[in-house]
Every structure is written in structure tokens, then in C-alpha cells.
Amino acid sequence: MNNILELTDLSKELDHFRLNKVSFSLMEGCITGFIGVNGSGKTTTIKTILGLILKDGGSIKLFGKEMTEHERDLKNRIGVVLDEGYFYDDMTLKEMKNIISPAYKSWDEDVFVSYIKRFNLSLNQKISTLSKGMRMKYAITLALSHHADLLIMDEPTSGLDPLVRSELMDLLLEFMKEEGKTVFFSTHMTSDLDKIADMLILIDDGKILLSEEKDQLLDTHAIVKGDNKLLNEQTRKLFLVLRETAYGFEGVTSKKSSVHQQMSDVLIEKPTIEDIMLAYIGGSKDAI
């Protein structure tokens, strides 16, 4: 599978925050979840990819081409859903569409109309009157109506009820059915990713802590519980985080097979993505 997007050593100094040599790549045909707590740098990274925030250093390559040099061409192939939408709220859906659509070379009005119908949106409605879920659906409609190859979304599920969230996830899977499509979306709700993500990238404090296949991550990581007696200098090293009480220990490991070999009589459980995320964030904090 080809790399659709390649970030290399992306850096940016902002007033109270900085991106610290962010590097990762997105594979064609994959849904990649970009996770991290609020304020970890997800939006800054996405905005930098899109050229809304200017990078200080590093490179952004899309479809093999440098973003800064082929910005317009490349943006024709990207569908964008920004957090909060960034719409002119006083406009109607139709007016907003009429502004966005001429920007794209391959805008497809039929696709647009079919999504509008499917989501029961009315074109003469003002954007300000849309509910949060409707607003997101409208944003997706705008993002998917020009046959984009890469869909970039910033926190598309935040503030949505579970039903709309699962609708969105289904929509993404539908989008992925076509060959060569790629999705990149940020979220702080890891439950969104359990079902649909192929790859996970974890960012914290402007640094990438993890970039891996989701299933492999879940295969190699585990929650381990057991008697404190089992902990010694060597076995402690197997854990990203470890919580000890008088009754026993509980920890998250990234070396499940080593735990199997070195520690008998422990309870090994499958972790959630959230467990893993928190373990890494907690782990990096401990190191500081």
C-alpha cells in the first residue's frame, strides 16, 4: 500500500504550544485515527497539513508531492471537515455550497444532492438552525462531493450523540469501499476507533508517541493483573504503567508475549484503545 500522506519532522512554534518534529504517514486504503487528549496538538497538526497554519520546518507530502509547491492541485483531492465547521452561519446551505463548490475542479452536483436527500437536509435552511449532528452531516456532504481521495476530519464526532456517531462511522466505511480512498480523522473519543480504524497515531504535547496498526497494537498490548510478589526489577520493565496497591498490581504492557514467559499466574486481559492511549500518555509524563 502506498503512502498517501507523509509528514517528516513537521515543526511549529505557537504561543503556548509547539509541534515537535511530527512525523507519520498514512497508507492508502486505510482509516487512520489520530488520537490524543484535548490540547495535544491534533488540530494544530491538521491545520498545518492543510496550510491553515504555516509550518516552521519539515515537509508535508501528499500523493508523493510537496504540499507547499502543489497546494491547489493537492487540495482538489482532499475533502475537509473542520472542527466547528467554520461555516458562515447566516447563510443557507445552498448559499454556502455555492461558495465552496466553484473551488473544486471535479465538484459533482449529483453526489451533493444525493447526500442532501439522504441526510434529509433542506437547502434553504440557514446553517445556524442546524443541529450539531445535521451540521456535521452537511460538512461531510461538502467534503465528499468532489470525489476526494483523502478525507481529513478534525474531531468530527465531538458533541454528537451515539446514533449519529455510528451513522458517521458507517458512512466512512462506505466511502472506503471505493478503491484508493483514505481517511484521516482526529478524535479524543477512542471508542470511535474500536470498530473502524486500521491505523492509530497517538500525539501528546506536540509529539507523536505511537503510530501503529490498530490490531497489532491490541495484540501486543495487554492489561496484566497479579500479585505484587511477581514484580521485580526485570518484570517491572515490561510495563508502560503500573499501579500497585496492597492487594496486587495492575499494569499495561506492550510486551504481552514476554509477560507470558516471565510471569506466571497473572491475569492477562485485552486492553481497549483508551487503556493503551492513557498508558502511553501516563508513561511519557512519568519519564519527565
Residues that bind other proteins (CB under 8 A): 1, 14, 27, 29-31, 47, 50-54, 71-72, 75-76, 78, 80, 82, 85-91, 95, 98-100, 102-105, 173, 176-177, 194-195, 197-199, 213-216, 218-219, 256, 260, 268, 270
Q: Which amino acid is at 135?
A: R
Specify the residue for cell string 475542479.
105
Distance CA 56, CA 198 (A): 30
Q: Which is nearer to other proteins, 40 or 43 (CB)?
A: 43
| 3-state class (DSSP) for residue 81 | strand
Indicate the residue among 194 and 250 with the shorter CB distance to other proteins: 194
Shortest approach of other proteins to residue 247 CB, angstroms? Answer: 23
Shortest CB 29 distance to other proteins, Å: 6
What is the smallest separation between the CB atom of 54 and other proteins, expressed in angstroms?
Answer: 6
The CB-of-150 to other proteins minimum distance in angstroms stands at: 12
Nearest approach, Cβ of 135 to other proteins (angstroms)?
Answer: 12
For cell 484508493, what's the residue? 180
CA angle 44, 50, 55 (to 5 degrees): 60
- Closer CB to other proteins, 195 or 285, in the complex: 195
Nearest distance in Å: CB 16, other proteins: 13
267 with 224: CB under 8 angstroms?
yes
Other C-beta atoms closer than 10 Å to the C-beta of 137 total 23
- Of 98 and 129, the one with the shorter C-beta distance to other proteins is 98
Strand order in the sheet with 31-35: 78-81, 150-154, 182-187, 31-35, 199-204, 207-213
At a CB cut-off of 8 Å and minimum separation 6, what does 89 contact? 126, 127, 128
16 vs 72 by CB, closer to other proteins = 72
Contact 16, 185 (CB under 8 A): no
Q: Provide the minimum distance between the beta carbon of 286 and other proteins in the complex, in angstroms, as a whole number.
A: 28
Give the list of residues 6+ apart from residue 165 with CB closer than 8 angstroms, or none.
157, 192
- Residue 7 near residue 57 (C-beta atoms within 8 A): no
Closest to other proteins by CB, 85 or 282:
85
**Helices 132-144 and 162-176 sit at what angle, rounded to 10 degrees?**
10
- Considering beta carbons, is residue 197 or 238 the nearer one to other proteins? 197
Distances (CA, A) of 35 to 101, 119, 236: 30, 27, 27
| Nearest distance, CB of residue 104 and other proteins, angstroms | 6
- When the beta carbons of 109 and 244 are compared against other proteins, the nearer one is 109
